Amino acid sequence: AAHAEKTLMVLSTYSSTSMEVVKREVPDGLFWFQVQFAVDRDLTRSLVRRAERSGYRALVVTVDSPVLGKNVDAVMRRFYMHDGIRFGNLEASPENKSANVKAMVSVRDAHIDPSQSWDDITWLKSITSLPLVLKGITNAEDAEEAISRGASAILVSNHGGRLLDGLPATIEVLPEVVSAVRGRVEVYVDGGVRHGTDVIKALALGAKAVFVGRPTIWGLAYNGEAGVRQMLAILRREVDRDLALMGNCFLQTPLQQVKTIRDRTRMHKA
């Protein structure tokens, strides 16, 4: 669906389908691979090598989840995974082959290294030629450190707000990160993108691109691949329409000059 709609897809380490199978099914697709630091660094190295061989174009390194948070929303909704689902990229694990959900969760929990640090970014940079996109940066200090460690891009993200309660919205911290980066690397953002106006606001605040998560799942649940394509098409149409309604249909006016009603209210009160 992403390839058909001319956009990229980030494949998770914990995908139920391996990176090789995904790339084989869509050989011309633009794919990035999400990775977290494993307790066993040889496993991390192996995943990186596989991503390189499979033709993935970048590594999206999750840096804000050294441990797993409690997903209260999932608990309240009584969400659970069915037995039979496995981590396609971790097939070598005996627990993973058991196809038991509890064993699956134990594999994931044991896989993530809680002691990871900035030095691990330096190490990862040293073992691959793929660009590193650091996901989970939400302040200027971390943005500076990310660049000094060799990040090629920064993805402002708070994991959808589902792991740590009380985090600021990504749209609120985006300007701080963009200001700190000063154009040295590209800045992306995710979290809460539901409408074309959300995309426009992010671009106006300096993001180079916007990523969507939950809407992809909703589209998939609604109608499979066609549902995801429909979701992406709707989002694109909304962006085009809303830019036209703003008199900015050809991006001739710098988006940074765009002010929302909330911005104007603040200016008036000041």
Give the strands of the sheet with 153-156, arranged side by side: 9-11, 31-35, 59-62, 132-135, 153-156, 186-189, 209-210
State residue 95's pLDDT score: 44
Task: Please tell me the pTM assigned to this model.
Answer: 0.86
Q: Using the predicted structure, report yes or no on whether residue 115 has a pLDDT greater than 50.
A: yes
Q: Based on the residue annotation, tell me whether 159 is a catalytic residue of this protein.
A: yes
76: confidence class by pLDDT, cuts 50, 70, 90? confident
**Catalytic residue (one of 111, 159, 195, 268):** 159
CB-side neighbour CA atoms (13 Å) of 231: 23
Going from N- to C-terminal start, the domains of the chain cover 9-217
pLDDT higher than 70, residue 222: yes
Predicted local confidence at residue 268, as pLDDT: 43
**How many CB atoms within 10 Å of residue 172?**
13
Name the range with the highest mean pLDDT among 73-87, 125-139, 165-179.
125-139
What's the pLDDT at 183?
96
Distance CA 13, CA 113 (A): 14
Tell the burial category of 205 from Cβ atoms under 10 Å away from its Cβ (0-12, 13-18, 19+).
Answer: buried
* Planar angle of CA 124, 8, 1, nearest 5 degrees: 135
Is the pLDDT at 220 greater than 80, yes or no? Answer: yes
The class (CATH top level) of 9-217 is: alpha beta
Digit-coded pLDDT (tens) for 20-32: 999 999 999 999 9
Kindly tell me if the per-residue pLDDT of 269 is higher than 60: no
257: pLDDT confidence band, cut at 50, 70 and 90? low
Q: Tell me: pLDDT of 175 over 60.
A: yes
Q: Which helix (H) or strand (E) holds 45?
A: helix 41-54
- Contact, 62 vs 36, CB < 8 A? yes
Predicted confidence band of residue 184 (pLDDT cuts 50, 70, 90): very high
Whole-number mean pLDDT of the chain? Answer: 86
